């Protein structure tokens, strides 16, 4: 039976923070999917966002975040097997595009979470440093205890992407959400100290992030050797660098966040899903109503996302003064 959730809000400020996060992710994901894998030099955006909005359907980025969120709201222990089960359930009931060939095989060939966890060898997992784990990290930031945020983000990464860069990116994105949700800090303040708070970040990674933070807005510094292309899905640390820079410079304006995420090129749906989701937790400005209204209304579309996001708020309530 398809879920049925009643909700008619069309404006971002009308929603709770958890709903804003998931709806923001879905909008960024769907909008970004139309530009994915294009060089940043190939992309132009008109003033009217809808005129180039190719699809209203989100992809793997939002679906994996849904899987994480459903585990969090269930109050089940955040274990490897429970997380794998939750990701499998989300995929099987509503298969989405965008997954890498490796992850697609893991999802399609596994009967349960235990089989999913055995799909790759430890060596294969340690070598994976693409952004597949980082894309699902934002909801973990709603966990109230900081050490538990780091533990759960690390665990989430290690079941599929065990390279230190992948773990660092996953933890970093969860920490951004945590500080925005609970402390309502400015993104400028959040990112300034972020490199020091990520336990798995290598010295080279720390220097890279500090260069980004100190440089203002510089796509060349963010993208390094990929400056002629855009954010590569194969390099999770560059994704984290892009997220940090976009939020630091434009985070108070969700629509600007969306535009700059797309214009950076490359893995546009993942970049936009994460940055817009984070920006929408406590937005200073609204998104254009046209972006809200065009998000899919299918069984696992906007109404479902609002309902699930509200459950996340109820599971981890916070009072913001």
Task: Give the SS3 label for residue 45.
Answer: coil
Q: Is 103 annotated as a binding residue?
A: no
- Collapsing DSSP to helix, strand or coil, 131 comes out as coil
Query: Residue 166 falls within a domain, yes or no?
Result: yes
Question: With bands split at pLDDT 50, 70 and 90, how would you rate the model's confidence at 48?
Answer: low
pLDDT at 13: 74
The pTM of the full predicted model, rounded to 2 decimals, is 0.95
Looking at every residue in the chain, the average pLDDT score rounds to 93
60 annotated to bind ligand? yes
Task: Report the domain count for the chain.
Answer: 1
Q: What is the CA radius of gyration of the chain?
A: 18
Decide if 105 is inside a domain: yes
Q: What is the pLDDT of residue 303?
A: 93
Q: What pLDDT is recorded for position 14?
A: 85
Confidence of residue 5 (pLDDT cuts 50, 70, 90): very low
Mean pLDDT of 30-49: 89
Look at residue 57 in the predicted model and tell me its pLDDT.
Answer: 92
Instruction: Please report whether residue 258 resides in a domain.
Output: yes
Neighbouring C-beta atoms of residue 100, cutoff 10 Å = 16
Burial of 234 (0-12, 13-18, 19+ CB in 10 A): middle
59 carries a ligand binding annotation: yes
Kindly give, in sequence order, each residue whose CB lies less than 8 Å from that of residue 118, ignoring residues fewer than 6 positions away.
Answer: none
For residue 162, pLDDT over 50 is answered with yes
Please indicate, yes or no, if residue 122 is contained in any of the structural domains.
yes
Please calculate the CA angle 190-178-223 and round it to the nearest 5 degrees.
50
Q: Is 56 annotated as a binding residue?
A: no
CB-count burial class (<10 Å; 0-12, 13-18, 19+) for 8: exposed
- In this prediction, residues 219-237 reach a mean pLDDT of 98
CATH for 66: 1.10.4080.10
pLDDT classification of 292: cutoffs 50, 70, 90:
confident
Position 2 in a domain: no
More confident residue, 292 or 16: 16
State the residue range of the domain holding 187.
12-44+53-315
pLDDT, position 1: 37
Calculate mean pLDDT across residues 63-87.
98
Confirm whether residue 131 is marked as ligand binding. no
In a domain, 36, yes or no: yes
Tell how far CA 47 is from the center of its chain. 25
pLDDT at 180: 97
Nearest CA-CA partner of 260 in 274, 250, 248: 250
Alpha-carbon gap, residue 262 to 46, rounded angstroms: 12
Task: Reply yes or no on whether the pLDDT at 269 is more than 80.
Answer: yes
Query: pLDDT band at residue 51, thresholds of 50, 70 and 90?
Result: low
In a domain, 321, yes or no: no
Task: Tell me: pLDDT of 9 over 60.
Answer: no
Asked if residue 168 is part of any domain, the answer here is: yes
Q: Give the mean model confidence (pLDDT) for residues 206-211.
A: 98
pLDDT value at 52 more than 70: no
């Amino acid at each position: 039976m398809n879920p049925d959730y009643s909700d008619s809000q069309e404006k971002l400020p009308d929603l709770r923070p958890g709903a804003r996060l998931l709806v923001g992710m879905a909008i960024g994901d769907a909008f970004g999917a139309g530009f994915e894998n294009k060089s940043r030099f190939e992309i132009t955006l008109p003033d009217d966002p809808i005129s180039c909005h190719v699809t209203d359907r989100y992809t793997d980025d939002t679906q994996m975040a849904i899987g994480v969120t459903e585990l969090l709201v269930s109050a089940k222990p955040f274990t490897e097997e429970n997380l794998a089960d939750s990701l499998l359930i989300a995929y099987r009931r509503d298969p989405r595009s965008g997954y890498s060939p490796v992850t697609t095989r893991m999802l399609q060939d596994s009967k349960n979470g235990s089989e999913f966890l055995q799909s790759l060898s430890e060596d294969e997992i340690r070598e994976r440093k693409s952004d597949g784990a980082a894309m699902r990290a934002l909801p973990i930031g709603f966990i109230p205890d900081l050490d538990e945020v780091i533990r759960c983000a690390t665990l989430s990464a290690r079941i599929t992407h065990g390279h230190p860069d992948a773990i660092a990116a996953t933890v970093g994105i969860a920490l951004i959400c945590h500080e925005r949700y609970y402390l309502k800090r400015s993104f400028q303040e959040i990112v300034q100290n972020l490199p020091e708070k990520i336990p798995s970040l290598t010295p080279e990674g720390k220097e890279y992030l500090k260069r980004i933070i100190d440089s203002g807005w510089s796509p060349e510094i963010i993208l390094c050797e990929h400056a002629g292309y855009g954010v590569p899905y194969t390099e999770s640390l560059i994704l984290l660098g892009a997220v940090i820079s976009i939020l630091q410079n434009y985070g108070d304006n969700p629509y600007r966040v969306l535009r700059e995420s797309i214009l950076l090129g490359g893995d546009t749906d993942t970049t936009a899903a994460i940055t817009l989701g984070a920006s929408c937790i406590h937005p200073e400005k609204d998104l254009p109503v046209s972006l809200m209204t065009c998000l899919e209304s299918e069984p696992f579309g906007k109404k479902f996302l609002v309902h699930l996001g509200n459950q996340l708020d109820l599971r981890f309530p916070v009072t913001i003064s």
